[in-house]
Amino acid sequence: MECTITGDEIKVGGALVTLMLRHPHSHAIINNAVVATNRELARREAVAVYADLVTSFNLN
């Protein structure tokens, strides 16, 4: 399962706390969410760097 979070970190944090209190496997779920978020942030950064490189090498 993947989700996109843009600008609602406080709501997401509250939802994760609620999940942690109610779900027996919450630790693994939260860890997976953090890993997925970090991967997405790294992917976005790589896309931005690539776009900058393409723009800088554009001869038009």
* pLDDT tens digits along 25-42: 877 877 888 899 999 999
Contact 2, 36 (CB under 8 A): yes
Note the pTM of the prediction, 2 decimals.
0.54
Looking up tokens 């609602």 gives 8
Question: Which long-range contacts does 36-44 make (Cβ < 8 Å, 24+ apart)?
Answer: 36/2, 37/5, 40/4
Top pLDDT among 46 and 31 is at: 46
Top pLDDT among 50 and 30 is at: 50
- In angstroms, the CA 37 to CA 43 distance is 10
